[in-house]
């Protein structure tokens, strides 16, 4: 089902195919963090699958229609204002990030993955400048950058660094990685 939220001119908010592919691997009923959640397309996916969700974004108005929904914790926070990560010390069965990069948060996101949990991350990579925005290198992953951020900390289940055509042409990196138990 497609929908467009007010104040979010990004068009239909269908969950990412990458996130949909790996969502079933998140431990059943485990809490999920949807970082930079926007209109909550991934929050909605995980809520529908029976996961409690913590959705965080600078602007949570895209979640207004979910107000009061059981299992949803919506947090309005600027993740780039220099303050400590607001969820430090919390662990999640799934950490989901799409179309967002703030490099100082990468270690905190890895730390937020509980034993047996997954990090599902997909965002723009170097080369995307030829397709439009984002084009600023501050918002584009370098080749292998996600792999390096997880090296020795999470077990990579899948990784891609490629150009996609859907939902629009873009250069992306995406990774799914698990924190081993025990």
- Predicted local distance difference test score (pLDDT) of residue 13: 74
pLDDT one-digit tens code per residue, 8-59: 444 337 899 999 999 999 999 999 999 999 999 999 999 999 999 999 999 9
Nearest to 121 by CA among 101, 93, 143, 140: 101
Give the number of other CB atoms < 10 A from CB of residue 108.
18
Q: Which distant-in-sequence residues (6+ apart) come within 8 Å of 153 by Cβ?
A: 110, 179
User: Is the Cα torsion angle 31, 35, 38, 42 positive or negative in sign?
Assistant: negative
- Predicted local distance difference test score (pLDDT) of residue 118: 98
- Predicted local distance difference test score (pLDDT) of residue 12: 38
- Predicted local distance difference test score (pLDDT) of residue 2: 26
| Domains observed in the chain | 17-178 (3.40.50.150)
* Residue stretches of the chain with pLDDT short of 50: 1-12
- Predicted local distance difference test score (pLDDT) of residue 68: 86
- Predicted local distance difference test score (pLDDT) of residue 53: 98
Whole-angstrom distance, CA of residue 87 vs CA of residue 56: 10
- Predicted local distance difference test score (pLDDT) of residue 128: 95
């Amino acid at each position: 089902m497609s929908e467009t939220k007010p104040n979010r001119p990004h068009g239909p908010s269908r969950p990412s195919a990458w996130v949909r592919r790996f969502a079933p691997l998140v431990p059943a009923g485990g809490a999920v963090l949807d970082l930079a959640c926007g209109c909550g397309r991934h929050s909605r996916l995980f809520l529908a699958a029976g996961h409690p969700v913590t959705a965080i974004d600078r602007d949570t108005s895209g979640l207004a229609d979910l107000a009061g929904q059981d299992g949803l914790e919506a947090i309005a926070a600027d993740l780039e204002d220099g303050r400590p990560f607001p969820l430090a010390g919390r662990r999640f069965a799934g950490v989901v990030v799409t179309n967002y990069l703030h490099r100082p948060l990468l270690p905190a996101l890895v730390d937020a993955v509980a034993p047996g949990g997954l990090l599902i991350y997909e965002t723009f990579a170097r080369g995307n400048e030829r397709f439009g925005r984002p084009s600023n290198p501050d918002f584009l992953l370098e080749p292998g950058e996600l792999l390096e951020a997880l090296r020795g900390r999470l077990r990579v289940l899948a990784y891609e660094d490629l150009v996609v055509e859907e939902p629009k042409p873009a250069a992306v990196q995406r990774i799914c990685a698990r924190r081993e138990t025990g």
